[in-house]
Amino acid sequence: MLDELTLAERLISYDTSRPEEIVAAAGFVKGWLESRDIEVRHHDHNGLPVLVAEVGPSGEGQDCPCVVLHGHLDVVPGRSAQFEPRIEGDRLIGRGAYDMKGGLAAMMCALKDLEAQGRVRVRLVCVPDEESEEIEDRSTDAVVARGLGGDFAITGEPTNLHIGVEAKGVLAMVIEVHGRAAHSSTPWLGDNAVLKAIDVFRAIESLPFSRESSEVFDRPSINLGRIEGGDAINKVPDECRMSVDIRFLPGQDPRAILDQIGRIPSIDVTRTFIFPPVSVARGNPYVQALRDAVTRSIPDKEVLSVGRDGASDAVAFMAAGIPAVEFGPDGAGHHGPDEWVSVSSMARYRRSLVGFVRTLPMWLERTASDEARDAIVLDGLGGDREPVHDDLRSGLKAIDGGLL
């Protein structure tokens, strides 16, 4: 039996906040898969390795769905001790355990488990730059551009075995705040741009967009990530630059948010980056199949469809019209000092992925049959009414206490 725990421990031992360790860890993943007779394709993106491995029908001449299991090797920096994995009870502790080497290890094992099935193409995509600040040039975008996006994608970000059907968008910006210089001995003669920047940030936090909510989110997220100002200790600073990261809700218009911010006096927004939000219909047959597989694998688990505050590479698939969700094992503390993933949850996560793929054809056939029946009914009604959408029908069926 292949052991996702052993794999996760090995992956954690690589300090993949550093490029050379990402290369080494990717070499380990490639070697592990190839030693189990799974072919791996290797692409470079900005000097870092991107791995693609596939099992199931070849796709040539095959009319079969393709599911992508998407994971990343890179982590945020940590202390050296965090790259020495340890187990305490059901917790595997270490940098990246939860985000997302535990999930990636289970995906690797699931890929091998699914090797013999012949109805679904399963593609594992392992990328090196999900945590990168270079958000305008990501390897997952390049993977999708190569035609490797499939029909549905699961990115293994930590979700505690819930299904992340929505994620906030990103509006990142650099704001220049203008003041007036003066000698530090007479600060009242100047206008301190650093102090004004704090006031500007507080003003952003109180703008109308910040008080909006949605079905799965109670508010947008607003963070002051960097602030730089002043060029001499004995001078009142007249310029300050700050980087603000806003995670806006699905349905909010980032341009309207920028318009609200632009009305704040004495500032210039000099650079922006917009990362769109993610939203997948709960009635999507792939989502339904995944929910069913989790329920079967973990009978005592209440499976929820949830919103995700953070952005992920799922948006690269969504931008290409490919439904994508976040789904990962139980744990806590990602990016923190005591990050951990549940050992038993990794095994459950693996079973859920395998069950999802094996039952997916049944769900797709059921959906096609329902659509054909709807078409016959509509034709009998004259054919000029709106179709009965799957998400409406499944929503009516799902009033069974199962929250999805």
pLDDT of residue 382: 56
| Mean pLDDT of the region 362-371 | 82
Question: In whole angstroms, how far apart are CA 395 and each of 281, 390, 399, 402, 403?
Answer: 10, 8, 7, 11, 10
Classify 251 in phi/psi space as left (phi over 0), alpha (psi -120 to 50) or beta: left
pLDDT of residue 371: 65
pLDDT of residue 367: 81
% of the chain beyond a pLDDT of 90: 74
As given in the structure block, the two tokens for residue 206 are 């109180």
Spatial separation of the C-alpha atoms in residues 369 and 163, rounded to whole Å: 25
Topology of the domain comprising 169-275: Alpha-Beta Plaits (3.30.70)
pLDDT of 396 higher than 70: no
Give the model confidence (pLDDT) of 270-279 as tens digits.
988 888 888 8
pLDDT of residue 167: 86
- pTM value is 0.81
As given in the structure block, the two tokens for residue 144 are 């999708």
Spatial separation of the C-alpha atoms in residues 139 and 49, rounded to whole Å: 9
pLDDT of 383 higher than 70: no
Spatial separation of the C-alpha atoms in residues 292 and 362, rounded to whole Å: 12
pLDDT of 394 higher than 80: no
| Mean pLDDT of the region 145-158 | 94
The residue among 8 and 334 whose pLDDT is bigger is 8
**Would you place residue 395 in the very low, low, confident or very high pLDDT band (cuts 50, 70, 90)?**
very low
Spatial separation of the C-alpha atoms in residues 138 and 134, rounded to whole Å: 7
As given in the structure block, the two tokens for residue 49 are 């390795």
Topology of the domain comprising 4-167+278-363: Aminopeptidase (3.40.630)
Give the model confidence (pLDDT) of 5-48 as tens digits.
999 999 999 999 999 999 999 999 999 999 999 999 999 999 99
CB 120 within 8 Å of CB 110: no
Interstrand relation of 48-55 and 121-127 (parallel, antiparallel or unpaired):
antiparallel
- Nearest 5°: phi and psi at 42? -120, 125
Give the model confidence (pLDDT) of 343-360 as tens digits.
999 999 999 999 999 999
Give the model confidence (pLDDT) of 300-328 as tens digits.
777 776 777 767 888 889 889 999 999 99
- Chain Cα centroid distance, residue 242: 26
| Mean pLDDT of the region 248-274 | 94
Spatial separation of the C-alpha atoms in residues 383 and 375, rounded to whole Å: 8
Q: Enumerate long-range contacts of 46-50, CB under 8 Å, 24 or more apart.
A: 46/129, 46/134, 46/137, 46/139, 47/19, 48/19, 48/22, 48/23, 48/128, 48/129, 48/139, 49/22, 49/23, 49/128, 50/125, 50/126, 50/127, 50/128, 50/139, 50/142, 50/143
pLDDT of residue 241: 97
Q: Could you tell me how many residues make up the chain?
A: 404
pLDDT of residue 319: 86
Classify residue 95 as exposed, middle or buried by CB count within 10 Å of its CB (0-12, 13-18, 19+). Answer: buried
pLDDT of 88 higher than 80: yes
Domain ranges of the chain: 4-167+278-363, 169-275
pLDDT of 140 higher than 90: yes
- Residue corresponding to tokens 């102090």: 195
pLDDT of residue 369: 74
pLDDT of residue 343: 97
Cβ of 202: how many Cβ atoms within 10 Å? 10
CB 164 within 8 Å of CB 214: no
- Mean pLDDT over the full length of the chain: 89
Instruction: Sheet with 221-229: list strands edge to edge.
Output: 221-229, 239-248, 169-178, 267-275
Q: Pick from 286, 332, 275, 350: which is nearest to 104 by CA?
A: 350
CB 5 within 8 Å of CB 97: no
pLDDT of 286 higher than 90: yes
| Mean pLDDT of the region 246-255 | 94
**Would you place residue 374 in the very low, low, confident or very high pLDDT band (cuts 50, 70, 90)?**
low
Spatial separation of the C-alpha atoms in residues 185 and 195, rounded to whole Å: 16
Give the model confidence (pLDDT) of 195-237 as tens digits.
999 999 999 999 999 999 988 899 999 999 999 999 999 999 9
CB 315 within 8 Å of CB 73: no
The residue among 134 and 386 whose pLDDT is bigger is 134
% of the chain beyond a pLDDT of 70: 89
